[in-house]
Structure 1
Amino acid sequence: MTTASLRLALVGAPNTGKTSLFNRLTGSSQKVANYPGVTVERKSGGFVTPEGRSVTVLDLPGTYSLRGRSPDEEITRDIVLGRFDGEEVPDLVLCVADATNLRLTLRLVLELKRVGRPMMLVLNMIDIAKRRGVTIDIDRMSQELGLPIVTSVAVRKGGVDELLKRTDEFLARSHEAAASEWTTPTIADLKAAQREADRIIAAAVTLPAKPDTLTTRIDSVVLHPVWGLVILAVILFVMFQAVFTWAQPAMELLSDSFAALGQLIHGVLPESWGLLQSFLQNGVISGVGSVIVFLPQIIIIFLFILLLEDFGYMARAAFLMDRIMGGAGLHGRAFIPLLSSFACAIPGIMATRVIDNRRDRLTTILIAPLMTCSARIPVYTLIISAFVPSTTVWGFVNLQGLVMFGLYAAGITSALTVSAIAKFLMWRDHAPAPFMLELPDYKVPRLRSIAIGVFTRAKMFLYRAGTTILSMMVLIWFLASFPQAPTGAEGPAINYSFAAMIGHALEPLLRPIGFNWQIAVALIPGMAAREVAVAALGTVYSIEGGKEAADQIGQVLAQKWTLATALSLLVWYIFAPQCASTLAVIRRETGSAKWMVVTFIYMLALAYVASSLTFNLAQALGLH
């Protein structure tokens, strides 16, 4: 081993506080990417020990065993064994175990010990274990396991300081990194390991006589078959109300800031630099700014999801939804991937690896894109703000938030309907797989971990705005600005551009659903990412209408579109497969282009038919 570049692998079962420990060790110095050839998220970071040793830490995917029953578990196993291409052999394996649930997590410790890597055990959440009356003889357990043990509260600095000190002491000694001969454990091996874990627990752990915990008392209400569903509905309703009410001041501030920046550019650059002025004001500022203005809403969505996850509620929500989802042919375990898809369908689809049954996993993958992801929020917000008044109904409910809630509900309903149809057409003879789920203890959400999670996701959103969206807006600006209108031409110059030519060519196909050529132009780059359509509309209408249109895009749409068109576009975005990255992940996760094509075709057909019905019904009702 070298002291210049020590590698530490963080291993543990889900819900052991492994990621919280990773966040505490690395802070904001994290890198998030994918492992080569797969869509499993790779999280790495770095820290310096008290003795000045530089350590690179890798947060491996959570696993209960090294058997490798899923891509996540295979990656964890192969990295620990030194078999994963592109990853160096870890100098030290740091196994994180839940001190409150040692029977579940100690078996993994024994499996890892068989590998033969230098290893330390971290008994995490030791404070919760003590409050419950669980007494652990650390010296006896260390002796039984033959491993150094550190107790920790992952989210508190004191415990981590002790861990760093012990890590320094451990790394100062000479350890061989070569693994022993390892074979995949059989069922008999796992049973033997569980018996050994039980023996060690009996020797080193004293449990309370009557475990009556706060978690048990809360679950008596939260998991109630009726009140539990009511609580879940209220939580989701409050989340969508917050998206509008809490985010509005920050959104207005961002909008005013971009408008002021556009005015500054307009005033600084001379009229003779009109092309550059148009590029900066209409292409960059209007395009990218019209998406970045929705950052507060993205932050609120992720804040709620991370808070619920850290609190321990997500698994309860999956348990509550099992009966409802089972009627639509879905496994209860599909709830967490589908809920993750509210943020983005890509991690939601990747999260389907927790579903062992191939049929259940494939069904979940096919409907995950129907969940209302955060990329739809800019489109929904723009249209709702333009056509739905910001009034209060029933004395306390924001009407715009209520409409947003309805759009989310429509996405969920359509997903369950598609799942039920798929079950009837393809898998009616397959019995549903049994649903088993570990319910973690409730924990007070730790603000530092939440802040890091929100910051990371906000940074990714801004990165997309600065790369994908910016490049698309440069293209849209070029198409909307060239060729320039001939001398003496009548009407807006954009009518003579490449964008107008493309839009007019597509308009006959989209006219039955109420879309004009400007919407057609916006939908094209919107295939790369849904939120790009908002930026494209901002660019197209700002070039057509000048600076005033760039500053007030919502008011421009309210004047140019009918309510029927607005409703049709909202419905289109419930169903349309406008995310190339999602389709690529479906292909990779299913191992076939077939299901990617199936997803694209069925979602596009649903979008067109539903939008056509909406537009024609709205016109029949006089909503012009």
Structure 2
Amino acid sequence: MSSTPEQHTVALVGNPNSGKTTLFNALTGENQKTGNYAGVTVSLKTGTFRNTHGRKINLIDLPGCYSLDPNSPDEKVTRDFLSGDIADQPAPEITVCVLDASALERHLNLALEVIELGHPVVIALNMVDVAESRGIHLDPTILSEELGVPVVPIQANKGKGIVELKQALRLPAPAIPETRWQTTGSELERQHARTAFIQTICNEAARRESNDTLTLSDKLDEYLLHPFTGWAALISIMLIVFWSIFSFSSIPMDAIDGAFASLGDTVANSMPEGDLNDLIVNGVIAGVGGTVIFLPQIVLLFFFIGLLESSGYMARAAFLMDRIMNKAGLSGKAFLPLLSAHACAIPGVMATRTIDSARERLITILIAPWMSCSARLPVYFLLIALLLPTQGSAAQALLLFCIYLAGIVTALVAARILRTRLPDDEVESHFMLELPPYRAPQLGYLFRHVLDRAWAFLKKAGSVILVLSIILWALQTFPKPDEGSPAAEEPALALEESYMGQLGHTIEPAFKPLGYDWRTATSVLTSFAAREVFVSSLKISYSISEDLEEEEQDTLLREQLSAATWPDGSKIYTPLTLVSLLIFFIYALQCLPTTAVVHRETKSLKWAAGQLVGMSLFAYLAALLVFQVGSLLGFS
């Protein structure tokens, strides 16, 4: 998006937690969108507003960064954008650098690097109220004189100083400042010069009354970062988050399920019977509905993530997790992506963009699918109910906890192994984390945050699911049974004679050592479109009528599976077979949309395909080992 005489480009840059996004929202209001520029993999927010001179401004919200020496994709995009190295995008006419006035010493380093680029800069000195409450006396005039650029004190969350900031964005742009600190020599010499200059300027323009004043954030951190109470708080918060996701999402999920069912009935009744009708109803609508039904859980997860981030607590969680993650060769920054992957691996993979280290980012992407996502829950609930039918909900909940724990532990062990096998980063990996002050979350920001992530999930996952659903529909539908044949009247026989059924019989010898018959093997294959498809495929295989209520279908399916036998009369779904299936679903990457997103994020078909094949092979061998060893030991 290049500038025109009537429309000008201004970039917004700042450290994470500087209030940059709050300022962006205050300036642009609803006139904003998210998109990718040519050559940019990171989504950038853009918005428009008019300065006090009536000129239209295109505001680009660049990813938060600590330095222009890039260690992550986000930081590289920021550096390249400010330097004018993005295709078809000149350097911005003005760069607004947002600084947290209460942490000026830490935030000024980025400001100096931005000024050193030699482009016009305006400093937005944010959170001046927080600084004053901490006994910091600010003098924006001295700061402006020393930096050589306009400095505007603001409170973005309350809209104070916004008019003054718009006045400072004069076009043509202000004169390019002359730096008053060393900008030549080695990077180490320049950094020492910046540090000395920052100390001098802060002594003059940000004087502190006392260093002994404890803020509310400091007092809260005495408990929330304590080795005991901190962990108790983190575990409690995570339990509340996941309980809320699974409890509150059930109502909208049922509503979405009912809406797609009604849509399918309406379309089926309004079109003549035939393949086109079946394709649209059972292929397109059912396939898309199977993905959209998990949207409430995705929305709730990102709402809570946004809540924890904007309140300042997420940085504390990453800090607490850093020691544990280090044992697996990761840093605390991997915590959030892995947490997100428990709802869906797709947003989890996308959330790795903020990780500095390229190696750590790749490792986190590769292990993220071993965090049991919400799509696995229908499978887990079915298998656990069959495995522990009379042991009660406490025993079933304990088994579910062990399933989640198995995936997490294996993922961390795998991360440790990968850390020693993958090449080192070009730059030294580091974990730098700023603990922002606790703040009241902004509902407007939360709404936009959730909306952006929900749309990204639907757009990236839904399109792939649609294609796969059509392919699976074709495999399950053709060849069509002859009219008057038993298969024409019996869906289970029709499936057995279809290409999918034929494939199931073909691969049954490969899956029989795991305890699976052809129907189970076929359902495993279909689950590569989406894990929850495993249950619906079994319902088709065992002729469970779709006219029944969902609860009746599930009850009847459990009865059918419990009674299913091999040709010799022995039971198929023995406890050992059920454990083998659980192991397989814990470890197999049975979600091709995830593979598509991994390919997009890593820009490597090798890693995406290797992850799919490697995890599936690991799942097969683990399930094989469990079933065969269990059989040798006499378990059934």
| TM range, smaller chain | 0.7 to 0.9
Deviation at 1:339, TM superposition (A): 3.2
Which digits, 9 at most, give the CA deviation of each residue in 1:228-281, with x for residues without a partner?
Answer: 222222222222222221112222222222223333334444xx4343332232
- Cα gap change, 1:434/1:394 in structure 2, threshold over 3 Å: closer, same or farther? farther
Distance 2:482 2:527 in 1: 30
Question: C-alpha separation between the residues in 2 aligned to 1:184 and 1:354?
Answer: 30
- Alignment of 1:575 with 2:587, yes or no, is yes
Matched residue SS, 1:101? helix
1:137-176 equivalence runs, <5 A = 137-156=139-158, 158-159=159-160, 162-163=161-162, 166-167=165-166, 170-174=169-173
Which 10-residue stretch deviates more, 587-596 or 273-282? Answer: 587-596
For each residue in 1:518-573, what CA deviation from the matched residue of structure 2 results, as whole angstroms up to 9, or x when unmatched?
5555555654x6xx343586478569656427966645653554565665444333
User: 1:304-329 CA distances to partner (integer Å, 9 max, x unpaired)?
Assistant: 22222222222222222233333344
2:187 is equivalent to residue 191 of structure 1:
no
Deviations 1:399-437 (A, max 9, x none): 88766554433322111222345568899xxxx977553
Structure-2 change in CA distance of 1:82 and 1:470 (3 Å): same
Q: 1:100 to 1:534 in 2, by over 3 A?
A: same
Q: Encode CA deviations 1:138-180: one digit per residue, 9 max, x unaligned.
A: 2232222222222333333x23xx4256325523445579999
Residue 205 of structure 2 corresponds to 204
Aligned residues: 606
- 1:246-285 to 2 correspondences below 5 Å: 246-269=248-271, 272-285=272-285
1:478 aligns with 2:470: no
The SS at the match of 1:444 is coil
Equivalent residues in 2 for 1:45-84 (5 A)? 45-49=47-51, 53-84=55-86
Describe the shift of the 1:457–1:287 C-alpha distance in structure 2 as closer, same or farther (beyond 3 A). same
Determine the structure 1 residue equivalent to 2:568.
Answer: none
Unpaired runs of at least 5, structure 2: 563-572
- State the 1:49 CA deviation: 4.8
- Which amino acid letter does the alignment assign opposite residue 312 of structure 1? G
Note if contact 2:72-2:358 (Cα within 8 Å) is conserved in structure 1. no
The CA deviation string for residues 44-86 of structure 1, in whole angstroms up to 9 with x for no partner, is: 3344556654332222222222223443323212211112223
Match of 1:501 in 2: 502
Moved more, 452-461 or 540-549: 540-549
Aligned to 2:565: none
Aligned amino acid, residue 282 of structure 2: N
Change beyond 3 A, Cα 1:460–1:398: farther
Alignment of structure 1 residues 228-247 onto 2, 5 Å: 228-247=230-249
CA distance in structure 1 between the aligned counterparts of 2:315 and 2:516, rounded to whole angstroms: 42
Following the alignment from structure 2 to structure 1, what is the Cα–Cα distance between the partners of residues 477 and 391?
47
Contact 1:282-1:550 at 8 Å conserved across structures: no
Note if contact 2:50-2:56 (Cα within 8 Å) is conserved in structure 1.
yes
**1:34–1:371: structure 2 CA closer, same or farther, 3 Å change rule?**
farther
State the partner residue of 1:292: 292
Instruction: Note closer, same or farther for the CA distance 1:207–1:154 as it changes in structure 2 (3 Å cut).
Output: same
Q: Taking structure 2 as the reference length, what is the TM-score of the superposition? A: 0.82
SS at match of 1:117: coil
Deviation of the 1:29 alpha carbon: 5.2
TM-score after normalising by structure 1: 0.83
Matches of 2:6 and 2:534 in 1, distance apart? 49
Contact 2:68–2:76 (CA under 8 A) maintained in structure 1: yes
Deviation by residue 1:333-391 (Cα, 9 ceiling, x = unmatched): 4434433444555665566676666765554454333233xxx31232454278549x9
Partner secondary structure for residue 213 of structure 2: coil
Distance 1:57 1:357, change over 3 A: closer
Per-residue CA shift, 1:288-316, capped at 9, x if unaligned?
22322222112222222222222222222
Pairing of 1:531-546 with structure 2 (within 5 A): 532-535=530-533, 538=536, 541=539
Gaps of 5+ in 1: none
Aligned pair partner of 1:379 in 376, 381, 401: 376
Secondary structure of the corresponding residue to residue 273 of structure 2: helix
> What is the CA–CA distance in structure 1 between the aligned matches of 2:266 and 2:365, rounded to whole Å?
47
Q: Which protein, 1 or 2, shows the higher relative CO under an 8 Å CA cutoff with sep ≥ 6?
A: 1
Report if the CA contact (8 A) 2:148-2:178 is conserved: no
Is it true that 1:463 corresponds to 2:459 in the alignment? yes
**Structure 1, residues 493-531: CA drift from partner, whole Å, max 9, x if none?**
33332222233323332333344545555555654x6xx
For the residue of structure 2 that corresponds to 1:483, the secondary structure is coil
Give the Å deviation of 1:610. 3.1
Q: In the alignment, what sits opposite 2:623?
A: 611
Structure 1's 533 and 586: CA in aligned 2 closer, same or farther, altered over 3 A? closer
Deviates more, 1:512-521 or 1:247-256: 512-521
Letter of the structure 2 residue corresponding to residue 451 of structure 1: F
Distance 1:230 1:203 in 2: 42
For 1:604, the aligned partner's letter is S
C-alpha distance 510-54 of structure 1, shift in aligned 2 (>3 A):
farther
In the other structure, the counterpart of 1:440 is 436
SS in 2 for 1:108: helix
Q: What's the secondary structure of 2:227's corresponding residue?
A: coil
Paired with 2:73 and 2:270, the residues of 1 have a C-alpha distance of: 55
Distance 1:146 1:38, change over 3 A: closer
**Residue number in structure 1 paired with 2:569:** none
CA contact (8 A) 1:97 1:106 kept: yes
